[in-house]
Amino acid sequence: MRSLWNDQEAKQFQGDLGLRVYTSRLLGRDKSLVLHGGGNTSVKIREKNLFGEQETILYVKGSGWDLETIEPQGFSPVLLAHVLRLAELPSLSDPEMVNQLVTHMLDASAPAPSIETILHGLMPQKFVDHTHADAVLSVSNTRDGDKRIREVYGNRCVVIPYLMPGFDLAQYCAREFKRQGTPETVGMVLLNHGIFSFGENAREAYERMIELVTLAEKYLESRRAWSIALKSSPRSAPGAAAQAGLRRRLCDAAGAPLIVRTVTNERTLGFAAHPELARISQKGPATPDHVIRTKRTPMLGSDVAGYAEGYRRYFDEHAPRAKEPKTILDPAPRVVLDPAFGLAAAGRTAKDAAIVAEIYDHTIDVILRGEALGGFQALPAKDVFDVEYWDLEQAKLKKGGKALPFAGEIALVTGAASGIGKAAVAAFLARGAAVVGLDLDAKIESLHSRGDFLGMSCDVTDETQVRSALEKAVLAFGGLDMLVLNAGIFPASRKIADLPIAEWRKAMNVNLDANLLLMRTCHPLLKLAPRGGRVVVIGSKNVPAPGPGASAYSASKAALNQLARVAALEWGADGIRINTVHPNAVFDTGLWTEEVLGQRAKQYAMTVEEYKTNNVLKTQVGSRDVAELAAEMCGALFAKTTGAQVPVDGGNERVI
C-alpha cells in the first residue's frame, strides 16, 4: 500500500478541517480500506464561540457521508467537553448517547455524529483515522487473531477484543489505551472490526494508517496468504429466466421487490466452486459494519425458502436474549453463491445491490487470506445478531421513511434517448425504479451516469440484439417489472397513392413487429414480477382519429393498439396489465422534424404555431406529460386497470 498524499493537491485544502477533508478522501479512494460509508475520521479544533470563549470542537464524520466524497459539512461539530463528560458516566444507552451528541452540536443542520464519536473524543491525539482495512481483518479474523496482530504490531498498536460499537467500547478503549499504550503507540486494532491511526496533523495520521496496513500486507505476503488463486471452470453466461426466477424467490422471501445484481467472472465462479465453500462462507461477515448490508451469511445455491426458514429459526433462538422486543428484518439473503453463476447480490435499490456485491468481493479476500493463515474466524452468532438487531438499527427500521413507489423494481423503456422515451426514463428513475433504456442512437449509453440506469444501443427490430439486451438487463438488475413500448417512426406525409411499399413495410416493422418481438420476449420476465408485470404502449391519436397522409403510421399504430388489447386479454391470467397512452402533437420528440411538422401544418392549412395547439384546451402537450402518465399507469392508481386507452392530447374534437 502506498500513500496518496500529494503536496499540490493538499494546498487546495485550507486549515485543519480542510486537510481533514483531504486525507479522508484519500482513505476513501482505496476500497481495501473503506467501503461505501464505512470508516470514520475526526479532528479536534480550538475555536471561539459566540461569547468569544475558546473551546474545543470535535469534528467527526457524520452519518450518511462517504469518506471518498466527503465535504466540510459532512463532519458533525460536537462540543468535546460534553463528549468527555459523557465518557465519565457509569453507563449510557445507545439511543441516549446519540441524543446527547446530536443536542450538543454547534450546527443543528449538521448530520448526526458517528456512533464512535465518544471513542474519537477520548483519543488524545488531534487527528484520528479509522478504517476496516482488508489486510488487517485478514490477520485479525483468524483463530489466533489476537496473537498474530500483536506479532505484526508489537507496541505500535493497542489491541482491543471485539465489543459492540458504542459507549462501552469507547470506555474500554480509553482504559486499554492508557494501560497498553507506550511512546511507540500510533494506532489501535479492534479485533474483527478495524484499525485506528493517530497523529498531530492530518498527514501524519493518514500516513501512519498506510504504514500500519502495509505491515499487515507484508505479514500476509510472508506467510503466502496474500494472493490466493481460485480455480473455476469456463461457463456460459447465466440465463435471464433463471436469474429472474431467483429474484422472484428472493422478493417473495423479503416481502418486497428487490434489485438483484449478478456478478459472473473467474473470481466469483471460483469462490462459488470452492471445495470448502459450505464451511468458509457460513462463518459470518468480515466486520460488523457489513452485517446490516449483507446479513449473517450468504445463501448457497437457490434454496431461498430453506434459507428464510433458517433465518427465522435463528431469530427465534436469539430474540429472547434481547432486552426489548425486536422487529424481524426480512429473511431474504443479500448474497447468493452458486457455481452456476458465481455471485448474486440483492438490495432494495440498485445502489444497495452494488454495495453488497462490492462488500462481498472484499469479504472473499478476507476469507481466503484468513484460511491461508490458519483458518478464517468471524464473529460468534450472538454478536452478529446483536449488530443486526441493534437498538439504533431498530430505531431506523421503526422510523423508516416513505419508500419511493417503484423501489426495487425494474423498468425497460424503448426509444429512450430522446423525446417521450427520455422523459419516461426520468419519470421512472424519480419513482425509485432501476431503468433500462434501449435506443438505436448510441447516445443512450451515456444518457445517465448512475448505478440504477443501464443504457444500451439496440435495434429493437433485431431479435438477437433484443435478447442480448434483455440478458444484460437481467444480469444488471435481476428481472423486469415494467415495459414501456415507445420506439417508433413517423414517415413523411404521403397519400396512399404515392406511398412506396418499402416505406409501409418499414413503418410496420418498427411500429408493430418490433413491439410484438419485445412483448413476446419480455413476457416470461414480466410473469415473474413480484407486484405483477405492467406494460404501457405509447400509441397515438391517429388510432381513434387518423389523419390524411399518415396511412403507414396510422395503420401500424392501430395494429399495435389491437395487439395490446389482445395481450391484455391473454396476459391477465399472468397478473400482467397492459394499458395504452394516446398522445397527439408532442412536438419535442424525434418524430417531429421541422420537415414533418411543416408538412402536417400545411395539410391542415395552419401555421406551425396554430398546429401545435390545435386542441380543445388550446395547450401544447410535451414529452414529460406523456411520460408522467405512462409511469402512473404502472403505479397503484391503475392497479386494477388493464386494456385502457387514455388520450394525452389536450382534447381532440374528432376523438371526443
Q: Are 369 and 414 found together in one domain?
A: no
Within a domain: residue 100?
A: yes
**What's the Cα-to-Cα distance from 158 to each of 96, 123, 154, 292, 378, rounded to whole Å?**
28, 12, 9, 27, 20
Q: Are 80 and 164 found together in one domain?
A: yes
Query: What's the CATH number where 539 sits?
Result: 3.40.50.720
Positions of the chain with pLDDT lower than 50, given as ranges? none
Nearest alpha carbon to residue 173 among 181, 69, 463: 181
Write down which residue in 222, 249, 276 finishes a domain. Answer: 222
Q: Are 607 and 559 found together in one domain?
A: yes
Question: What is the full DSSP assignment across 379-432?
Answer: --HHHHHHHHT-HHHHHHHHH--PPPTTTT-EEEEESTTSHHHHHHHHHHHHTT
Question: What is the full DSSP assignment across 469-485?
Answer: HHHHHHHHHS--SEEEE
Within a domain: residue 558?
A: yes
Q: Are 374 and 442 found together in one domain?
A: no
CB 145 within 8 A of CB 104: no
Write down which residue in 160, 193, 222 finishes a domain. Answer: 222
535 grid coordinates? 406494460
What is the count of structural domains for the chain? 3
Within a domain: residue 494?
A: yes
Q: What is the DSSP letter of 236?
A: P
Give CA–CA dist 60/101, Å, rounded. 11
Q: Are 426 and 353 found together in one domain?
A: no
Write down which residue in 195, 222, 249 finishes a domain. Answer: 222
Q: Are 283 and 381 found together in one domain?
A: yes
Give CA–CA dist 95/93, Å, rounded. 6
Nearest alpha carbon to residue 188 among 119, 88, 90: 119
Q: What angle do CA 421, 427, 429 make, to 5 degrees?
A: 105
Q: Are 414 and 466 found together in one domain?
A: yes
Say which of 42, 138, 540, 623 is annotated catalytic: 540
Nearest alpha carbon to residue 538 among 591, 486, 592: 486
Q: Given strand 75-79, what is the order of strands in its sheet?
A: 75-79, 54-61, 40-48, 127-131, 194-199, 187-190, 157-160
Q: Are 217 and 80 found together in one domain?
A: yes
Q: Distance from first CA to last CA of the chain, Å, rounded?
A: 71
Within a domain: residue 404?
A: no
Nearest alpha carbon to residue 455 among 466, 467, 447, 465: 447
**What's the Cα-to-Cα distance from 308 to each of 261, 328, 417, 428, rounded to whole Å?**
19, 12, 41, 31
Rg (CA), the chain: 29
Q: Given strand 482-485, what is the order of strands in its sheet?
A: 453-457, 434-439, 410-414, 482-485, 534-538, 577-583, 645-648
7 grid coordinates? 503536496
State yes or no: is 307 an active-site residue.
no
Say which of 219, 557, 611, 623 is annotated catalytic: 557
Nearest alpha carbon to residue 537 among 555, 574, 511, 573: 511
| Per-residue pLDDT at 166 | 86
State yes or no: is 206 an active-site residue.
no
Q: Are 294 and 245 found together in one domain?
A: yes
Within a domain: residue 655?
A: no
Within a domain: residue 602?
A: yes
Domain span holding position 338: 240-399
Q: Are 497 and 594 found together in one domain?
A: yes
Where does 527-622 have alpha helices with state H?
Answer: 551-571, 594-603, 608-612
Q: What angle do CA 133, 138, 141 make, to 5 degrees?
A: 110
Give CA–CA dist 394/326, Å, rounded. 7
Within a domain: residue 212?
A: yes
| Per-residue pLDDT at 387 | 61
Q: Are 246 and 101 found together in one domain?
A: no
Query: What's the CATH number where 68 sits?
Result: 3.40.225.10
Say which of 553, 554, 612, 623 is annotated catalytic: 553
Give CA–CA dist 177/196, Å, rounded. 12
Within a domain: residue 195?
A: yes
State yes or no: is 540 an active-site residue.
yes
3-state secondary structure 6-73: CHHHHCCCCHHHHHHHHHHHHHHHCCCCCCCCCCEEEEEEEEECCCCCEEEEEEEEECCCCHHHCCHH
Q: How many CA atoms lie within 13 A of 637 on its CB side?
A: 7
Give CA–CA dist 127/158, Å, rounded. 17
Give CA–CA dist 531/255, Å, rounded. 10
Q: Are 495 and 517 found together in one domain?
A: yes
Give CA–CA dist 525/523, Å, rounded. 5
pLDDT in tens, 392-422: 555 555 555 678 999 999 999 999 999 999 9
| Per-residue pLDDT at 325 | 58
Query: What's the CATH number where 275 sits?
Result: 3.40.225
